[in-house]
Amino acid sequence: MYKFKIWLFILLFPSIIFLYYFTSFEHGFNALLEKKSELNALKIKQDILESKIKKVMLYNNLLNANNPDLDFLEEKSLEILGRYEKDAYHIKF
């Protein structure tokens, strides 16, 4: 009976360990799915931040001190201040 218990322990212990690590929330399959969802959320945030950086860089290039874009400045002044030049037509979409 003693030998049977030893063999039972030797055969079942590795499978129990494997099942624990496969199904646990720290190391197993569920942890892998959780980490993948976190990674996807971080990638989405990174894409949003990169698009904001590109937008700011575009505005920075339009407002550089050496050669400012006068149309852009006029458009922003109309948008912010709400003042219009005399005899000028403005179409807002």
What mean pLDDT do residues 73-92 have?
68
pLDDT for residue 16: 86
pLDDT for residue 86: 63
pTM: 0.53
pLDDT in tens, 34-74: 999 999 999 999 999 999 999 998 888 777 777 777 777 77
Q: Is the pLDDT of residue 5 over 70?
A: yes
Domain boundaries, the chain: 2-81
Residue at token pair 């499978």: 15
Residue 53 and residue 42: Cα distance in Å, rounded? 16
User: How far is C-alpha 43 from the geometric centre of its chain's CA atoms?
Assistant: 3
